[in-house]
């Protein structure tokens, strides 16, 4: 029985997958929907890439009420990529700068986790003083 006979269709995605269900976004203070939407786009851009292990976690964004603070926006992300915990923190003056900084930090840390087991980056044999074969 084929898909056309059962009435179901195979769907193809033309955009990056949304990880909204896997990563929760929490806000504290006066955080608007526009700021949350922009932050969600940035997090989805990093974590919605093809080839990543399963991703779960939480991103907490906070806006301080004190007007004298130079950088009232702060964010903390604790995301599990596969079996590895990725943590990123940032403080900025505006919500857009904060989202951009978080995207940069998450991308760097997620790339490090994904390429950690990449054997192409290691030398073929360790030197003798590190337990390699002696000549």
The parent domain of residue 84 ranges over 19-115
Mean pLDDT of 117-126: 66
In a domain, 51, yes or no: yes
**Host H or E run for residue 85:** strand 84-92
Q: Which two tokens stand for residue 70?
A: 């130079």
Tell me how far apart the alpha carbons of residues 45 and 19 are, in angstroms, rounded to a whole number. 9
- pLDDT surpassing 80 at residue 23: yes
In a domain, 5, yes or no: no
Residue 23 maps to which CATH number?
A: 3.30.160.100
- pLDDT recorded at residue 116: 77
- pLDDT recorded at residue 46: 94
Residues of the chain above pLDDT 70, percent? 78
Among 102, 109, 104, 60, which residue's Cα sits nearest to residue 80?
Answer: 109
Mean pLDDT of 14-25: 60
Mean pLDDT of 68-88: 91
């Amino acid at each position: 029985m084929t898909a056309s006979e059962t009435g179901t269709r195979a769907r193809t995605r033309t955009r990056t997958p949304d990880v909204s269900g896997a990563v929760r976004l929490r806000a504290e203070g006066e955080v608007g929907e526009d700021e949350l939407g922009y932050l969600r786009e940035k997090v989805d851009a990093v974590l919605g890439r093809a080839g990543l292990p399963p991703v779960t976690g939480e991103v907490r964004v906070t806006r301080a009420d004190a007007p004298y603070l130079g950088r009232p926006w702060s964010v903390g992300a604790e995301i599990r990529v596969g079996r590895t915990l990725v943590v990123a923190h940032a403080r900025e003056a505006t919500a857009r700068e904060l989202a951009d900084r978080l995207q940069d930090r998450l991308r760097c840390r997620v790339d490090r986790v994904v390429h950690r087991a990449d054997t192409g980056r290691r030398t073929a044999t360790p030197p003798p003083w590190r337990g390699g074969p002696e000549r």
